[in-house]
Amino acid sequence: MGIPSPFGALEDDTLPATEDPKELARRFFYEVWDTGDLTVADAIFAPDFVNSSVVAGQRPGVAGVKQLVRAFRDGFPDCSVSVDLQTVENSRVATRYTFRGTHRGTFRGLKATGKPVEVSGISIHSVAGGEITGHWGFFDDANLLFQLGLVQYPGQDPGPGPGPKPPGPWDTAGTAGK
């Protein structure tokens, strides 16, 4: 226009939007878990990523993350994950999430039950240089097994089933199942 511009240079829009630690963790839950896009894992996890919450048989590093996601998605093909709460302090992001799905395939040696599940977990991711560098977490495996009908809480009425009902607190006369 013939006059010097008072504006500075345009910001570099080629920088990844994953510099925000919360956004980086959300990408893990929504892009890797929810959609099953394992290529995103390669983009958001550091090559030297350390998982401090591995399950039996899980490989270390990013390969183990992909292995776990594949196992869940094979066992629960309609799975979805929602981020319920997130907080960040320094370079760590704590996320409370909920996993939902229907057990339609073999999962960790358990044949499909056809039962729907909804299980919460907590993950803490450490972030540096725009990548996830570490993980600590808790997933409620006991609640998962309960919802699949594979375990019962102590003292729980087993409900109708084959054979006589075992004696329990509901049977004060000792005549259960007779």
pTM of the model: 0.74
For the chain, give the percent of residues with pLDDT over 70.
76
CA separation, residue 46 to residues 49, 53, 89, 173 (Å)? 5, 17, 19, 64
Q: Is the pLDDT of residue 29 over 60?
A: yes
Name beta bridge partners: 86. Answer: 95
Q: How confident is the model at residue 153 (pLDDT cuts 50, 70, 90)?
A: confident
**Burial grade of 127 (CB within 10 A; 0-12, 13-18, 19 or more):** buried
Which of 13-27, 105-119, 145-159 has the highest mean predicted lDDT (pLDDT)?
105-119
Domains identified in the chain and CATH numbers: 17-147 (3.10.450.50)
Q: How confident is the model at residue 174 (pLDDT cuts 50, 70, 90)?
A: low
Q: Which residue has the tokens 């390969």?
A: 63
Please give the residue that has the higher pLDDT: either 47 or 153: 47
* Residue-level pLDDT at 122: 98
DSSP letter string, 85-110: EEEEETTEEEEEEEEEEE--S-BTTB
Q: Is the pLDDT of residue 162 over 90?
A: no
Q: Looking at residues 72-86, what average pLDDT do you find?
A: 96
